[in-house]
Homo-oligomer: A and B are copies of this chain.
Amino acid sequence: MKLFIEVSAAPMAGLRERQKADREKRILQAAVARFRADGYRAVRIEDLAEAAEVSVGTVYNYYRTKGDILIATVTMEVEEVLDEGEPLVADPPDGVAEAVLALIFSYYDHSLEYLSKEMWRSAMALSIEAPETPNGRRYLELDRRLAGQVTALLETLQARGAVRADLDAEALGQLLFNNLNMEFIEFVKDEGMTLAQLRARVARQVRPLARMIATKEEP
């Protein structure tokens, strides 16, 4: 019998819940700041615990492993990238190559805004090595959504009559995504490689393909 209590408790979550949310937020904020500043490997769990004003054990209460914390920060980043891609998919520029490269380059250009190459390397390594972890699955889901955006772009171009209607947009989208993703991996593996070089490589691979999938009637 706690009728009144329940009602009066409704406006605000319980103390325990609020503290939990607050701690998780503090840990994640600490992780974002420290990973960016010092690099993923150099930061110890103890550092994060200290910055978040919790104990080491508590960090593990919220994240299964150190890698999970990194993937949580990467997730936030990729969500942004996905948002920025949305308008490009909805209303792509003219020309198949132009549209596809615009989307790909928008991914690339935002990729280093918050994450260093080292963080990307660690995150990608983790997503491969520990795909069964909760956040590992979350990373896979992000990949799926990125690939889905590429496919959606192709479908938009098909609807517009710019891409041959008889082609399998999903398979092509996958192929394009696999290519842009793999080239991005090579990019973050090579500290000396610039964004311009990455763009050039991918453009060279995508342009001929774009020409082939475009309808012949275009100007």
| Interface of A toward B, CB cutoff 8 Å | 121-122, 124-129, 131, 140, 167-168, 171-172, 174-175, 178-179, 181-183, 185, 188-190, 201, 204-205, 208-209, 212-213
Contact = CB atoms under 8 A, between A and B. Distances in A.
A181 B182 CA distance: 8
5 contacts: A121-B128, A125-B126, A171-B205, A174-B201, A212-B213
Nearest to A175: B205
Given A125-B128, A172-B208, 12 more contacts: A121-B129, A124-B125, A125-B129, A127-B189, A128-B185, A171-B208, A172-B205, A175-B175, A178-B181, A178-B182, A178-B183, A212-B212
Contacts of A185: 128
Contact of A208 (B128, B140, B168, B181): B168
Contacts of A131: 121, 189-190
Q: Which 4 A-B pairs have the closest CB atoms?
A: A178-B182, A125-B125, A125-B129, A131-B189
A183 to B, nearest CB: 7
Contacts of A182: 178-179, 181-182
Contact of A122 (B129, B181, B201, B204): B129
A29 to B, nearest CB: 25
Nearest to A188: B128
A172 to B, nearest CB: 7
Contacts of A174: 179, 201, 205
Contacts of A121: 128-129, 131
Nearest to A174: B205
Contacts of A122: 129
